[in-house]
């Protein structure tokens, strides 16, 4: 379940891309003597699905690549957990439609004494009682960071 939830954007984006590509291929292969409106609409819908799916999958792959670069060349610090925020968003039938939990943490740079605040990605489950969390950050720009929630056991 958690692996599917992590890869949901990538799966949906890839599926939309291939569905859109198939619709464009079918629209190109249709006989235009019987009419041009249906192939045109099918081609436009397929092109829109392919572009949106490719964009969704591409953004997810770019985010993963950026995280890998932060882990490899970035600075890893241990930040103190300040708060675990919970924002419940309810759908029409009262069910949760988003991941409600975020870890808020702070770290003070020992070189210059500047305090930096970090916020994790949205989490499915409450992280429990944790005191510290690892943060991967760009050594030159601390605004580019990733709070490593995998080390806390919360995905």
This prediction has a pTM of 0.64
- Cα distances from 5 to residues 47, 99, 152, in angstroms, run 26, 11, 18
Spatial CB neighbours of 55, under 8 Å, sequence gap ≥ 6: 13
How confident is the prediction along the chain (155 residues), in pLDDT tens digits per residue?
Answer: 444 555 676 777 777 777 777 777 666 666 656 676 777 777 788 888 888 888 888 888 888 888 888 888 888 999 999 988 877 666 666 555 566 788 899 999 898 889 999 998 888 777 888 889 999 988 888 888 989 887 554 44
What DSSP string describes the chain?
-HHHHHTHHHHHHHHHHHHHHHHHHHHHHS-TTS-SHHHHHHHHHHHHHHHHHHHHHHHHHHHHHHHHHHHHHSEEEEEEEEEEEE---B-TTS-B-S--EEEEEEEE-TTT--EEEEEPPPBSS---S-SEEEEEE-SS-TTSEEEE-GGGT--
Spatial CB neighbours of 6, under 8 Å, sequence gap ≥ 6: 155
Q: How far apart are CA 6 and CA 75, in angstroms?
A: 24
Q: Give which of 116, 30, 125 is closest to 79, Cα–Cα.
A: 116
Q: Give which of 145, 155, 119 is closest to 66, Cα–Cα.
A: 145
């Amino acid at each position: 379940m958690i692996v599917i939830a992590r890869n949901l954007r990538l799966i949906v984006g890839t599926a939309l891309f291939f569905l859109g590509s198939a619709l464009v291929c079918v629209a190109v292969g249709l006989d235009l003597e019987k009419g041009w409106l249906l192939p045109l609409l099918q081609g436009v819908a397929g092109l829109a699905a392919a572009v949106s799916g490719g964009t969704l999958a591409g953004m997810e792959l770019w985010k993963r690549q950026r995280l890998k670069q932060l882990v490899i060349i970035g600075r890893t610090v241990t930040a103190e957990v300040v708060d675990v925020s919970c924002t419940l968003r309810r759908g029409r039938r009262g069910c949760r439609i988003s991941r409600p939990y975020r870890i808020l943490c702070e770290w003070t740079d020992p070189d210059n004494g500047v305090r930096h605040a970090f916020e994790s990605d949205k989490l499915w489950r409450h992280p429990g009682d944790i005191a510290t969390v690892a943060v991967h950050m760009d050594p030159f720009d601390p605004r580019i960071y990733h709070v490593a929630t995998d080390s806390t056991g919360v995905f």
